[in-house]
């Protein structure tokens, strides 16, 4: 099946879990990344149960802190 990961179309095995995709993509600090599946945020606790389907779109969102010093 084919899914889109961070804007790139990829072929993956049928029945791939979101957790497995995160491992395959070598997502750094997965406990701090926000995952969007088809424009809906997925709770961290639900990643083990989410089964990806053909045509799904997955985005990994990293939030960074920062600011200007004056």
Structural domain including 12 reads 2-61
The answer to the question of residue 69 being in a domain is no
Closest CA to 16 of 63, 48, 59, 44: 48
In a domain, 27, yes or no: yes
Q: CATH no. for residue 37?
A: 3.10.20.30
Per-residue pLDDT of the chain (70 residues; tens, 9 = 90+): 999 999 999 999 999 999 999 999 999 888 889 999 999 999 999 999 999 999 999 999 987 666 666 6
pTM: 0.86
Question: 22: which DSSP letter?
Answer: H
In the chain, how many domains are there?
Answer: 1
Exposure class string for 37-67: b at 16+ Cβ within 10 A, else e? beeeebeeeebeebebeeebebbbeeeeeee
For residue 28, what pLDDT is reported?
Answer: 85
């Amino acid at each position: 099946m084919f899914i889109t990961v961070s804007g790139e179309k990829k072929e993956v095995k049928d029945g791939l879990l979101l957790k497995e995709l995160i491992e395959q993509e070598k997502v750094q600090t997965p406990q701090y990344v926000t995952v969007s599946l088809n424009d809906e945020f997925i709770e961290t606790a639900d990643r083990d149960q989410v089964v990806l389907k053909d045509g799904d779109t997955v985005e990994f969102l990293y939030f960074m802190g920062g600011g200007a010093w004056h």
